């Protein structure tokens, strides 16, 4: 799959967009520094960078929607529009926005007005720019547009509110809205980051088809290199507000000149490992060979260092039989039954000590519910589960103390899951306060220092607060807290999905190392198939609360038996595969 | 949506029923036998007993409750133990006065606070916005009765434009009714609008930072138009809650203003009844206040459902 091949680059004469010396600053702090680039009509440019690189600010500046407290300098010219985009009056920019330049945002649920029907929201942009004669025509055209972005039953969808649509449908509505007036330039800011993989590939395909059909120029902002490789022909790499490298996609991804580009590429590629079987990080990126130069051969299968499931002997550490969890929705009739939602249905599996098991599935597949039940944070409505000798179903909190000692969790959002008013030392030491542990304050502090060293943070960190750390460092703190009382099982719920690419590889390496060192049993939930592939020997695929397939990771990835697994694997964009596609 | 409203209605009726039991029970717990109070200090036991028989307070409590409850159902609150007057018409009069006074005050307060609060939010980093915020802070600090006295001394005493106090029913003399309504309503609305400005400002500020407002701007809507079309309805939801709470609180809280302007409202009636140890009147007024509060809550709930499509299908 490669959507960029359909691009119709260079359709017109002269450049569509000329940006020179674009700078954005907050007071004396430069957020974007003299960025210059040009875009031909219908061209697709990827703007890549990590959080804080200034990529979203660049797009916002081109739309003239920067917050008042930021100052902007430089020039930006759009073909057919006289004034400079950066200095034009708000009135002039209003005529441009939604008409000649439009934007698709990251989170479609919050980007749509919750109290307005989606058809009316699409119609509004046409009425605003008077591209339709009247309201009735706008409504008709809105339904046509919803049909063109392939929303099933567009007439009915037009009358729905955003919360009644799925995430993918909401983003389709955003695309329909952005393209309603046939803009010359479409700015897409991480448009698929909040979506499931199968939905992501559909939305990317849709954007791709729509912009090439209309000859729209596309500035595609993302942190995900595989998505850029899929969508764009040219790439701009931003780091801390500076353009470090730009050029054709194939050149940049096969022969990156700047060390930062190389590091980003190396860290993004989870199929490549260094001599010691570890992922490349910013430090080890020099040894990285881009996939295009690996001769088109499929990447060597990464070898998880843990014993495989066959090798593991002895009784199961985790066993679940017929686990189910149902929720009730509000009644739809006054005295009728309350509709039942099956979050989890008939889930059975076992995990042997020392195994590394990945659970993959899309949102709503029940993977988080399953984790919560195994961790004793939720109770199943049917079935049985035994974790490290503790029976979960119907257990009282006091019965779960051994479980809390044996199983610890690392959560997705390291900032949200650390108490902002507790010092790091107290956060890490807290699990040591469980009943049965008799460590004095000095003993606990010694443990804290040991753990900090283990996760690669200095001892000084103990006296600081979570907000004083970066995302990756916070996740290290979470890992230290999870491992301080030497659990037998580590449960990780999307541990790297909130992290930047360059940090992700480091944290994954850390988890792999610690799982080895402590002989942990790992249960990893991720929507990212390549993360699971790298870390786990066995994988469980879930859909709609059920296990559809499980088995040896390589076996399943190479020969999926269930159609859903096959769809999941073919939808997920893999950097090396995207680049290996002939151009 | 209709299911939800039916549910709200059912909850309202149940709450009302529970409230009758609670109010009745509370009044019985209070010390003081109404017959003893009515008979006076030197009355013989025979007189007290005959009064108790007359009031019905000698019967078992469930019978008394049922008697009172079935009376409520017919709109009959009974006869005061102290004044021997029929309570229902009196309460009906006062309810009308209080509802007119408070509704007018809340409407005026919203009419001032919605534009002022929105302005304070839109211009939150400009002097005009800061001025509105400061004025609202000051307004909250000024007691309503003080504002009332200032208004009376200026408009009634110095300029002589309006009567200083009193009340005329709208059916009797509409012009007189209006002229007597203006000053107390202004006194009440002054403080209420100052309170509401704060809530409206923060609601609008919050909405201004929502993603969908940025989307509206990206569609080419001007700042004010984006706010008007996409922001205000979203901001209305939290403001509705506060308005409901303030309305209920003001029905009784207006008592100080009623005193300043010599207006016969519910608050004054309750205060007088408590002073006279007029148990049944107190019980009736409290019951009416509870009913008004519950009705206001019901209306707020129904309005939520109308305003916000997400609430219509909320998962419990």
Summarised one tens digit per residue, pLDDT across range B36-78 is 777 777 778 888 888 888 777 778 888 888 888 888 888 888 8
Cα gap A31→A113, rounded to integer Å: 30
Strand, helix or coil at A522? Answer: strand
Instruction: Tell me: do A234 and A325 sit in the same domain.
Output: no
Helix A135-148 crosses helix A167-179 at what angle (to 10 degrees)?
A: 120
ipTM of the complex: 0.79
pLDDT at A356: 94
- The answer to whether the Cβ–Cβ distance between B218 and A330 falls below 8 Å is no
Cα gap A429→A50, rounded to integer Å: 32
Q: Which tens digit of pLDDT belongs to each residue from B68-124?
A: 888 888 888 888 877 778 888 888 888 988 999 999 999 999 999 999 999 999 888
DSSP secondary structure letter of residue A284: T
How far B210 CA lies from chain A's nearest CA (Å)? Answer: 7
Q: By CA distance, what is B233's nearest residue in A?
A: A115
Instruction: Name the residue among A94, A329, A331 with its Cβ closest to that of B222.
Output: A94
Residues of B in contact with A95 (CB under 8 A): 220
Tokens describing residue B50: 């005959």
**CATH number where B165 lies:** 1.10.3720.10
Full-model pTM? 0.81
CB atoms inside a 10 Å sphere around CB A311: 11
pLDDT at B257: 87
Given B82, B109, B141, the domain boundary residue is B82
Q: Which of B123, B128, B132 is nearest to B196 (CA)?
A: B132
Instruction: Tell me: do B75 and B121 sit in the same domain.
Output: no
Instruction: Tell me: do B65 and B182 sit in the same domain.
Output: no
Residues A234, A237, A243, A244, Cα dihedral to 10°: -110
Length of chain A: 583
Tokens describing residue A131: 């591209």
Higher pLDDT, residue B12 or B37:
B12
The chain A residues in contact with chain B (CB within 8 A) are 63, 65, 68, 90-91, 94-99, 102-103, 105, 107, 110-116, 124-125, 128-129, 161, 163-164, 174, 177, 327-334, 338
Q: How many CB pairs under 8 A join A and B?
A: 91
Backbone angles phi, psi at B26, to 5 degrees: -60, -40
- The answer to whether the Cβ–Cβ distance between B220 and A112 falls below 8 Å is no
Q: State the DSSP string of A68-123.
A: TT-EEEEEEEETT--S-TTTS-HHHHHHHBTTTEEEE-S-HHHHS-TTS-HHHHHH
pLDDT at B314 over 70: no
Residues of A in contact with B3 (CB under 8 A): 331-334
Higher pLDDT, residue B230 or A578:
B230
Instruction: Tell me: do A375 and A498 sit in the same domain.
Output: yes
Strand, helix or coil at A187? Answer: strand
Q: State the DSSP string of A7-75.
A: --TT-SSSEEEEEEEEEEEETTEEEEEEEEEEEETT-EEEEE--TTSSHHHHHHHHHT---TT-EEEEE
Cα gap A7→B265, rounded to integer Å: 76
Instruction: Tell me: do B58 and B108 sit in the same domain.
Output: no
Residues of A in contact with B219 (CB under 8 A): 97-98, 102, 124-125, 128, 177
Residues of B in contact with A68 (CB under 8 A): 125
Instruction: Name the residue among B6, B221, B309 with its Cβ closest to that of A115.
Output: B309
In a domain, A2, yes or no: yes
Instruction: Tell me: do B75 and B153 sit in the same domain.
Output: no
Instruction: Tell me: do A364 and A223 sit in the same domain.
Output: no
Q: Which of A152, A150, A162, A156 is nearest to A109 (CA)?
A: A162
Strand, helix or coil at A347? Answer: strand
Instruction: Name the residue among A98, A111, A333 with its Cβ closest to that of B211.
Output: A111
Instruction: Tell me: do A361 and A465 sit in the same domain.
Output: yes
Cα gap A80→A17, rounded to integer Å: 10
Mutation target vs A (from B209, B220, B309, B311; most A CBs, 10 A cutoff):
B220
- The answer to whether the Cβ–Cβ distance between A114 and B309 falls below 8 Å is yes
Instruction: Tell me: do A232 and A357 sit in the same domain.
Output: no
CB atoms inside a 10 Å sphere around CB A303: 11
The chain B residues in contact with chain A (CB within 8 A) are 3-4, 6-7, 10, 125, 210-212, 214-223, 229-230, 233-234, 307-310, 313-316
Q: By CA distance, what is A69's nearest residue in B?
A: B125
pLDDT at B37: 74
Cα gap B220→B226, rounded to integer Å: 9
Instruction: Name the residue among B214, B219, B314 with its Cβ closest to that of A124.
Output: B219
CB A435 within 8 A of CB A452: no
Going from the C-alpha of B138 to that of each of B141, B198, B254, the distances in angstroms are 5, 11, 20
Instruction: Name the residue among B4, B217, B310 with its Cβ closest to that of A114.
Output: B310
Given A254, A280, A305, the domain boundary residue is A254
DSSP secondary structure letter of residue A184: S
Helices (H) and strands (E) in chain B, counts: 15, 0
- The answer to whether the Cβ–Cβ distance between B218 and A65 falls below 8 Å is yes
Distance spanning both ends of chain A, measured CA to CA: 11
In a domain, A365, yes or no: yes
In a domain, B298, yes or no: yes
pLDDT at A395: 78
Handedness of CA A107, A112, A115, A119 (dihedral sign): negative
Cα gap B104→A269, rounded to integer Å: 68
Instruction: Tell me: do B169 and B21 sit in the same domain.
Output: no
Instruction: Tell me: do A405 and A545 sit in the same domain.
Output: yes
Instruction: Tell me: do A378 and A236 sit in the same domain.
Output: no
Q: Is A34 exposed, middle or buried (0-12, 13-18, 19+ CB in 10 A)?
A: middle
Tokens describing residue A116: 């307005």
Length of chain B: 316
Instruction: Tell me: do A525 and A427 sit in the same domain.
Output: yes
CB A327 within 8 A of CB A341: yes
- The answer to whether the Cβ–Cβ distance between A124 and B310 falls below 8 Å is no
Going residue by residue through chain A (583 aa), what tens digit of pLDDT does each one get? Answer: 556 554 444 444 578 999 999 999 988 889 999 999 999 988 999 999 888 888 999 999 999 999 888 999 999 999 988 889 999 898 999 999 999 999 999 888 899 999 999 999 999 999 999 988 999 999 999 999 999 888 889 999 999 999 888 888 899 999 999 999 999 999 999 998 888 888 888 889 989 998 898 889 999 999 888 889 889 999 999 998 999 999 998 888 888 889 889 888 888 888 888 777 788 887 787 778 776 666 544 444 444 444 444 444 567 899 999 999 988 776 666 566 777 888 899 999 999 999 999 999 888 888 888 998 998 888 899 998 999 888 887 778 888 888 888 899 998 888 888 998 999 999 999 988 877 777 888 889 999 999 998 888 888 889 999 988 888 889 899 999 999 988 999 999 988 888 888 888 888 988 998 899 889 999 999 888 888 998 999 999 999 899 999 999 999 999 999 999 999 888 888 777 777 665 4
pLDDT at A334: 59
Cα gap B95→B292, rounded to integer Å: 9
Cα gap A417→A422, rounded to integer Å: 12
Q: Which residue has the tokens 């009636």?
A: B269
Instruction: Tell me: do B78 and B93 sit in the same domain.
Output: no
Number of domains in chain B: 2
Instruction: Tell me: do A491 and A357 sit in the same domain.
Output: yes
Cα gap A459→A474, rounded to integer Å: 14
Instruction: Tell me: do B40 and B154 sit in the same domain.
Output: no
pLDDT at A335: 64
Beta bridge partners of A217: A185
Backbone angles phi, psi at A37, to 5 degrees: -165, 165
**CATH number where A27 lies:** 3.40.50.300
Instruction: Tell me: do A418 and A537 sit in the same domain.
Output: yes
Given A254, A273, A306, the domain boundary residue is A254
Residue spans of alpha helices (H) in A348-470: 367-374, 401-406, 424-429, 441-454
Domain containing B209: what range? Answer: 88-308
- The answer to whether the Cβ–Cβ distance between B230 and A116 falls below 8 Å is yes
CB A429 within 8 A of CB A419: no
In a domain, A71, yes or no: yes
In a domain, A175, yes or no: no
In a domain, B316, yes or no: no
Instruction: Tell me: do B36 and B156 sit in the same domain.
Output: no
Given B82, B111, B143, the domain boundary residue is B82
Residues of A in contact with B234 (CB under 8 A): 113-115
Instruction: Tell me: do B152 and B240 sit in the same domain.
Output: yes
Q: Which residue has the tokens 């046509």?
A: A144
Residues of B in contact with A59 (CB under 8 A): none
Q: By CA distance, what is A98's nearest residue in B?
A: B219
Number of domains in chain A: 2
CB A25 within 8 A of CB A242: no
In a domain, A127, yes or no: no
Q: Which tens digit of pLDDT belongs to each residue from B196-208?
A: 999 999 999 999 9
pLDDT at A11: 40
Domain containing A24: what range? Answer: 1-83+211-254
Instruction: Name the residue among A63, A129, A338 with its Cβ closest to that of B218.
Output: A63
In a domain, A569, yes or no: yes
Instruction: Tell me: do A411 and A508 sit in the same domain.
Output: yes
Q: Is A153 exposed, middle or buried (0-12, 13-18, 19+ CB in 10 A)?
A: exposed
In a domain, A454, yes or no: yes
Instruction: Tell me: do B231 and B134 sit in the same domain.
Output: yes
Instruction: Tell me: do B97 and B199 sit in the same domain.
Output: yes
Instruction: Tell me: do B92 and B221 sit in the same domain.
Output: yes
Given B26, B60, B82, the domain boundary residue is B82
In a domain, A177, yes or no: no
């Amino acid at each position: 799959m490669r959507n960029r091949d359909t691009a119709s680059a260079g359709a017109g004469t002269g450049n569509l967009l000329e940006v020179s010396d674009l700078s954005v600053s907050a007071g004396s702090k430069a957020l974007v520094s003299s960025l210059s680039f040009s875009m031909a009509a219908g061209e697709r440019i990827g703007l890549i960078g990590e959080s804080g690189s200034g990529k979203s600010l660049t797009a916002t500046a081109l739309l003239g929607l920067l917050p008042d407290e930021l100052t902007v300098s430089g020039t930006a010219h759009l073909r057919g529009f006289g004034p400079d985009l950066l200095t034009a009056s708000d009135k002039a920019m209003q005529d441009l926005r939604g008409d000649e330049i439009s934007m698709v945002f990251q989170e479609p649920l919050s980007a749509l007005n919750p109290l307005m029907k989606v058809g009316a929201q699409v119609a509004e942009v046409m009425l605003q720019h008077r591209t339709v004669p009247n309201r009735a025509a706008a409504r008709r055209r809105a339904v046509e547009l919803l049909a063109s972005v392939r929303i099933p039953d567009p007439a009915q969808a037009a009358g729905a509110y955003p919360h009644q649509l799925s995430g993918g449908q909401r983003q389709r509505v955003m695309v329909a809205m952005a393209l309603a007036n046939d803009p010359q330039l479409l700015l897409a800011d991480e448009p698929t980051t909040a979506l499931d993989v199968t939905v992501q590939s559909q939305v990317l395909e849709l954007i791709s088809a729509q912009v090439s059909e209309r000859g729209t120029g596309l500035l595609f902002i993302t942190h995900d290199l595989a998505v850029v490789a899929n969508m764009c022909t040219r790439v701009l790499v931003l780091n801390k507000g500076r353009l470090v490298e730009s050029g054709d996609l194939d050149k940049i991804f096969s022969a990156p000149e700047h060390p930062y580009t190389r590091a980003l590429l190396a860290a993004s590629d989870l199929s490549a490992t260094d001599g010691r079987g570890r992922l490349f990080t910013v430090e080890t990126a020099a040894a990285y060979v881009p996939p295009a130069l690996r001769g088109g051969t499929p990447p060597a299968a990464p070898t998880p260092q843990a014993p495989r499931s066959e090798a593991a002997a002895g009784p199961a550490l985790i066993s679940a039989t017929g686990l189910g969890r149902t929720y009730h929705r509000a009644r739809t009739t006054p005295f009728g039954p309350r509709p039942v939602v099956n979050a989890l249905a008939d889930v059975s599996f076992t995990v042997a000590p020392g195994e590394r098991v990945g659970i993959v599935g899309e949102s709503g597949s029940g993977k988080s519910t399953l984790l919560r039940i195994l961790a004793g944070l939720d109770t199943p409505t049917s079935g049985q589960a035994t974790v490290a000798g503790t029976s979960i179903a119907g257990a009282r909190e006091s019965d779960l103390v051994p479980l809390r000692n044996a199983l610890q969790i690392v959560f997705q959002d390291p900032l949200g899951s650390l108490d902002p008013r507790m010092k790091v030392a107290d956060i890490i030491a807290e699990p040591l306060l469980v009943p049965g542990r008799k460590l004095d304050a000095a003993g606990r502090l010694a443990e804290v220092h040991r753990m900090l060293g283990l996760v690669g943070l200095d001892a000084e960190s103990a006296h600081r607060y979570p907000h004083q750390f970066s995302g990756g460092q916070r996740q290290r703190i979470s890992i230290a807290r999870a491992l301080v009382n030497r659990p037998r099982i580590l449960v990780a719920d999307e541990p790297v999905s909130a992290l930047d690419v360059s940090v992700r590889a480091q944290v994954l390496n850390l988890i792999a190392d610690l799982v080895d060192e402590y002989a942990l049993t790992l249960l990893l939930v991720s929507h990212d198939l390549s993360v699971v592939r790298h870390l786990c020997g066995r994988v469980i695929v879930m859909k709609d609360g059920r296990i559809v397939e499980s088995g040896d990771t390589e076996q399943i990835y190479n020969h999926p038996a269930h159609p859903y697994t096959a769809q999941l694997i073919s939808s997920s964009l893999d950097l090396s595969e995207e680049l290996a596609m002939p151009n | 949506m209709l299911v939800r409203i039916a549910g709200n209605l059912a909850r309202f009726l149940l709450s009302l029923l529970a409230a009758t039991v609670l109010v009745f029970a509370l009044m019985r717990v209070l010390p003081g036998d109404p017959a003893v109070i009515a008979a006076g200090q030197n009355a013989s036991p025979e007189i007290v007993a005959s009064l108790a028989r007359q009031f019905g307070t000698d019967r078992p409590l469930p019978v008394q409750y049922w008697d009172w409850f079935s009376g409520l159902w017919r709109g009959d609150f009974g006869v005061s133990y102290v004044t021997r007057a029929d309570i229902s018409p009196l309460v009906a009069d006062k309810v009308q006065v209080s509802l007119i006074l408070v509704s007018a005050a809340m409407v005026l307060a919203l009419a001032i606070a919605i534009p002022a609060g929105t302005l304070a939010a839109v211009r939150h980093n400009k002097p005009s916005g800061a001025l509105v915020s400061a004025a609202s802070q000051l307004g909250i600090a000024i007691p309503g009765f003080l504002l009332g006295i200032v208004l009376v001394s200026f408009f009634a005493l110095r300029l002589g434009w309006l009567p200083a106090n009193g009340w005329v029913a709208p059916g009797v003399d509409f012009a007189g009714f209006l002229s007597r309504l203006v000053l107390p309503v202004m006194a009440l609305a002054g403080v209420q609008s100052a309170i509401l400005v704060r809530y409206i400002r923060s609601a609008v500020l919050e909405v201004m930072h929502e993603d969908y407002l940025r989307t509206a701007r990206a569609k080419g809507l001007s700042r004010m138009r984006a706010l008007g079309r996409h922001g205000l309805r979203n901001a209305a939801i939290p403001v509705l809650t506060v308005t409901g709470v303030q309305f209920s609180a003001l029905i009784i809280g207006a008592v100080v203003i009623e005193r300043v302007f010599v207006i016969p409202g519910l608050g004054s009636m309750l205060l007088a009844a408590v002073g006279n140890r007029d148990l049944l009147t107190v019980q009736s007024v409290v019951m009416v206040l509870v009913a008004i509060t519950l009705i206001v809550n019901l209306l707020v709930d129904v309005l939520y459902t109308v305003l916000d499509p997400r609430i219509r299908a909320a998962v419990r």
